[in-house]
Structure 1
Amino acid sequence: MNTLEALNLMLIDQLGPNGPMIGIAIAFTLFLGLIIPLMLGRKDDPIEKLKRSQQEGANSKRKEQLRRKGANAKLDKYKAFLEPKSEEELSSVRLTLMQAGYPSRDAVRAYHLAQMLLGIGGLILGVLYFVYVKGTEGATTQDTLMYTLGPGVIGYMMPKYWVTRRVEARKEEITAGFPDSLDMMLVCVEAGQSLDQSIVRVAGELRASYPALADEFQIVAYEMKAGKDKQQVLSDMGERCGVQDVSSFVTVLIQSATFGTSIAEALRVYAGEMRDKRVMRAEEAANKLPTKMTLATMALTVPPLLIILVSPSIVGIGNMGGN
């Protein structure tokens, strides 16, 4: 008898058939009773109070920004619970959320808040379902844990699953639209526009077809207008996208600016390579298609064919047996 079964039997002996559920409810209540006072009782940092007072005294042109910063200040009270303690883990989560299309500074806190709320909500729903729908009579320890903790674990993992899917979808969109963006940028540069102007134009033209890539170019344009170093801006773009083609493009532009070569010539060569890679990716997908269709073809074709070929023999044998 393991520890869980012994604990389960002890709770049943002490509290009746619903002893395990009552024990889980008591433990969960004690946990909330310890965590909530710590979260609500946390004092504001005096520096943060000073910043908020300065923001409240700003002019009317920044009212919308003040509203957003007020929301950020609310999350600041719980940042000890909504942010990883390790700087490496925090940077990793922030980079993943940026690649998923959530560049806000509060994205990490919102992500962990969603995990916590969905986990607690799933746990509560699992307990209610197990008590009022499934029933606790005759339930084993494995059933109790599966129906009570299972929904909580699923709810906790849902934000991570969503972000992972968003990252993959965004990378596919950027990969699909990147050759077209290079062709547009090459046309703009050869027409006499600077690299900054061509990036702004490309961001506007790609908005309808590839919004994720357009957002990345728009961020690059804003950072360049703000006076940030061009090489750092391009490097940040390659890191945010997480796509090898974009990283290689950034390297080409940085080397072109470093050695003083023509940006138009570099764009022409690299745009040609991207078009060739897109054609090769399409050919690769087309070559994989027959293999993927084999199982579906067999599953949909062989059973009806067997029925057509074998059913007359089965009917004939049945008739012979009846005679």
Structure 2
Amino acid sequence: MFDTLNTMITEALGPAGPLMVVAGLAFLLIVATIPMLLRQKPDPMDKLAKSGRARMDAETKAILRDNRRHAKLNKYAQYLEPQSAEELGQMRLKLLQAGYRTKDAVRLYFLAQMVLGIGLLIVGTVYYFLFKDGPDATLQTKLMYIIGPGAIGYLAPKYWVTKRVEERKKQIEEGFPDALDMMLVCVEAGQSLDQSIVRVAREIRASYPALADEFEIISHEMKAGKDKRSVLSDMGERCGVQDVASFVTVLNQAASFGTSIADALRVYASEMRDKRVMRAEEKANKLPTKMTLTTMMLTVPPLLIILVGPSVMSITQLGNLSFN
């Protein structure tokens, strides 16, 4: 039965007929599912659960944040956000570490994945049927030109965010020792920790903007009245750098035991300077190993040509003369 159906489809639509039928059925299923999901009625129990304090929180959020600019995203939020709270928190944290702090960052991320994936899938399908379709086309060629662009479009936002996170972490690691030295100078000059953070954020803006943004967020949260311990802990979580997390621990311990913040900064800044020197030495020690392969690839072949080439030419010429 399946062989007969496959033969009929192939005779009617060509070699790519079965693939076209499968793609069409998938598209029809997606189109038929969307209206059902949009017409889904809310659970009455959810309405009851949103009474009392939840209603007051919603009114407060409505006052503080205007959702009118993103009404379309709010309408399709259940399709553009993970349903699991744990997955949503992990994705939000990753976007924070990449520097995307807007309220709709998670929704825009999944929207980009969906639009790029479906868009490039359509582009690849059109390109294949216009230029590559033929009797000699194999299944591997079909998958490469049709599904390949869609997979690339779906994975492109993830690759971009991961790359941004790595670049931002590297920038924070490079600028953190200098920021600690400046903070220590400010504290020893008589400024408070809050004032020193504001001053350091302003001074390192040109060289390390990512670290300056984190210090500015700290200063704004402290001015808003948020607890200093939780503010510093949030910074360590946002940065995702071990040095910053250790720095947060040092400051929290200094505040808990009542020790001098200047002494804690002095000791930790010294450790950060030593650690930066150790990183530089580690990179210097890796350099000869990395250069060995490059040196062999770029030096040995020309050297062999120079040394062995004349001998090979002479042997070839002698062989031709003896043969003649």
TM-score interval (norm. to shorter): 0.7 to 0.9
What's the counterpart of residue 264 of structure 2?
266
SS in 2 for 1:136: coil
SS in 2 for 1:103: coil
What's the counterpart of residue 94 of structure 2?
96
Q: CA deviation at 1:143?
A: 2.5
Which of 203, 208, 211 is residue 210 of structure 1 equivalent to?
208
Cα distance between partner residues in 2 of 1:6 and 1:262: 84
Aligned amino acid, residue 30 of structure 1 = L
Aligned amino acid, residue 268 of structure 1 = R
Cα distance between partner residues in 1 of 2:36 and 2:182: 55
Structure 2-normalised TM-score? Answer: 0.87
Which of 187, 198, 201 is residue 200 of structure 1 equivalent to?
198
Cα distance between partner residues in 2 of 1:28 and 1:71: 33
- 1:39-54 aligned at under 5 Å gives the runs none
Q: Structure 1 residue 179 and structure 2 residue 138: aligned?
A: no
Q: Is the 8 A contact 1:97 1:107 kept in 2?
A: yes
Q: Which consecutive residues of structure 1, in runs of 5 or more, have no partner in the other structure?
A: none
Deviations 1:282-318 (A, max 9, x none): 0000100000011110000000001001111111112
Moved more, 295-304 or 22-31: 22-31
Deviations 1:239-297 (A, max 9, x none): 00000000000000000000100000000000000000000000000100000011110
What's the counterpart of residue 73 of structure 2?
75
Aligned amino acid, residue 206 of structure 1 = I
Q: CA deviation at 1:134?
A: 1.1
Cα distance between partner residues in 2 of 1:90 and 1:316: 72
What's the counterpart of residue 163 of structure 2?
165
Cα distance between partner residues in 1 of 2:121 and 2:318: 63
Q: CA deviation at 1:123?
A: 0.5
Moved more, 24-33 or 260-269: 24-33
Aligned amino acid, residue 266 of structure 1 = A
SS in 1 for 2:114: helix
Moved more, 9-18 or 280-289: 9-18
Cα distance between partner residues in 2 of 1:83 and 1:137: 43
Q: CA deviation at 1:90?
A: 0.7
Q: CA deviation at 1:71?
A: 2.6
Q: CA deviation at 1:122?
A: 1.4
CA RMSD of aligned residues (A): 2.7
SS in 2 for 1:22: helix
SS in 1 for 2:135: coil
Cα distance between partner residues in 1 of 2:84 and 2:114: 18
Q: Taking structure 1 as reference, are residues 175 and 10 closer, same or farther at Cα in structure 2, changes over 3 Å only?
A: farther
Cα distance between partner residues in 1 of 2:226 and 2:152: 42
Q: Which consecutive residues of structure 2, in runs of 5 or more, have no partner in the other structure?
A: none
What's the counterpart of residue 253 of structure 1?
251
Deviations 1:146-186 (A, max 9, x none): 22111101110010011111111100000000000001111
Structure 1-normalised TM-score? Answer: 0.87
Q: Is the 8 A contact 1:238 1:246 kept in 2?
A: yes
Q: Is the 8 A contact 1:130 1:136 kept in 2?
A: no
| Identical residues among aligned pairs (%) | 64
**Aligned length, in residue pairs:** 308
SS in 1 for 2:275: helix
